[in-house]
Each structure stands twice: as C-alpha cells, then as structure tokens.
Amino acid sequence: MFRGSIDRFCLIVHELRNCRKVLDIGPGAGILSSLLHELGHECYAVDIVDRREQFPTAFAKLEDFKICNVEVDLLPWSDGFFDAVVCCQALEHFSHSHLPAVKEMYRVLKPGGILELDVPNVACFRNRSRLLRGKHITYDYEKHYLYAEPILYKGRSFFPDRHNREFTKKELKILFDAAGFKKQQVSFLKSRRYRTGFERIKSIGTVLRDAIPSFRKSLIGFGIK
C-alpha cells in the first residue's frame, strides 16, 4: 500500500507541514499516521473497526484512537481541536451521505485548518476501459453486493468493505462547498508506484495514463476552514 501511494503521501505531507495536531479518519493499517508521526506531527485517529491488535506498531504511535462511526457519531473532540484532518481513501466506503461526516471534520478544525480528502476518480482510464469491455467498475457483485452482510449500527446498515460511491472532480468540490470550506483545491492525483529493477518497466503504463489528468485513478482535495 505504501509503494502504491508515494504521490499521495508526499503531497499530503507537504500540505500539512505546518499542522501539529492531525486527525486521521479511517486510518486502515495506520501507514499515513505513522508517516506523519515520524515527521513530528501529533496524530489521532478514529475508525468504525478496531485494528490495533492487527497493526500494533503503527497504532502505538497515535496520541489517541477511538472507535467512532463518523457517518452518524459526533467526533469525540471539541471544536477547533485539530490543525488538520485527513480522510484518505475512506469516503468511497461510506454507505450514506458524506455531508454530516465532513461537517464534523470541519467542526473539529481550527480556523485556517486543513481538511484533506482523496477518493477514486469515477472517470479514470480503468473505469472507462472496463465499461467499454462490458465490465462493472465496482467490486465483485455477488460477494460485495448480492450477499454482503451489513454492519448494523444505531438502526442503520453500513457496508464499509466495498466502494459505495466514487466521485467526479466537480462532486468533490460540491462536497467541500456544502460543508462550509471557504477555500478549496481539487486535482487529479498522479499514481506512481515505487518499483525497482525490471519492475520499473511497468511504470511506463502509469506514466502514459497520468499524462491525461482526467484518466488518473484518484482525486485529491484540500479545504481550508
């Protein structure tokens, strides 16, 4: 995952270089928060599932970790507590409206604080190619949709193990605006994978695809409160 996220992590680290307290929404294996911790940031995290036993080294670097379903729960920190919030490759797994969660992220940011969101680009080359070949862009239909068992929480169903919604560039901008961010920047994210030896030949395809921004796999946005 780290090798495939070089561009993403470098850009996030650069934009958050002056942010001391950072909240990671949906940290996964804790790779990004570990990286930020090593660079001197004070990191916190929330997730709908607890992966501390699975990734003890990464989670031990956090100042605090809490179980929280940000789609319906309030974040357990006061207004303006954080300098930055990152929600990296997570919004696409939300089952319901993204707006309440992003408004909560806005609430816990200090004035001038930064929210980072990155999501799959629904119009990427891979998705266009799959549709032209009669394939679907989402996960396996039977496993992740037809027979998927939801997580039940506060009377609602959630399906965090699949992509429930991918985004266009305009839609990500709409989300930032609706949540109240006064400034925002959304762009198509390059997606180099770190390779060595003969594996580097595979990067040629990535370079060609990334030459057309709208064909790139992901979108990344930064909003300023």
CATH of the domain at 117: 3.40.50.150
Question: Three-state DSSP class for 117?
Answer: strand
For the cut 80, the answer to whether the pLDDT of residue 205 exceeds it is no
For the cut 80, the answer to whether the pLDDT of residue 193 exceeds it is no
Q: Quickly count: other Cβ atoms within 10 Å of residue 62's Cβ.
A: 19
Which residues make Cβ contacts (< 8 Å) with residue 53, sequence separation at least 6?
none
Gap between the terminal Cα atoms of the chain: 30
The label of the residue with tokens 């009669």 reads 134
Q: What was the pLDDT predicted at 190?
A: 85
Domain region containing 55: 3-224
pTM, rounded to two decimals: 0.91
Q: What was the pLDDT predicted at 195?
A: 66
Share of the chain above pLDDT 70, in %: 96
Asked if 44 and 65 count as a contact pair (C-beta separation under 8 A), the reply is yes
What confidence tier does 29 reach under pLDDT thresholds 50, 70, 90?
Answer: confident
Which amino acid is residue 211, in one-letter code? A
For the cut 90, the answer to whether the pLDDT of residue 225 exceeds it is yes
Average pLDDT over residues 28-33: 90
For 120, 122, 161, 183, the CA distances from 138, given in Å and listed in that order, are: 11, 10, 12, 31
Q: What was the pLDDT predicted at 132?
A: 95
Asked if 61 and 55 count as a contact pair (C-beta separation under 8 A), the reply is no
Q: What was the pLDDT predicted at 209?
A: 80
Q: What was the pLDDT predicted at 50?
A: 87
Angle at 78 between CA 75 and CA 82, to 5 degrees: 85
**Total domains, the chain:** 1
Q: Quickly count: other Cβ atoms within 10 Å of residue 203's Cβ.
A: 14
Q: Quickly count: other Cβ atoms within 10 Å of residue 178's Cβ.
A: 13
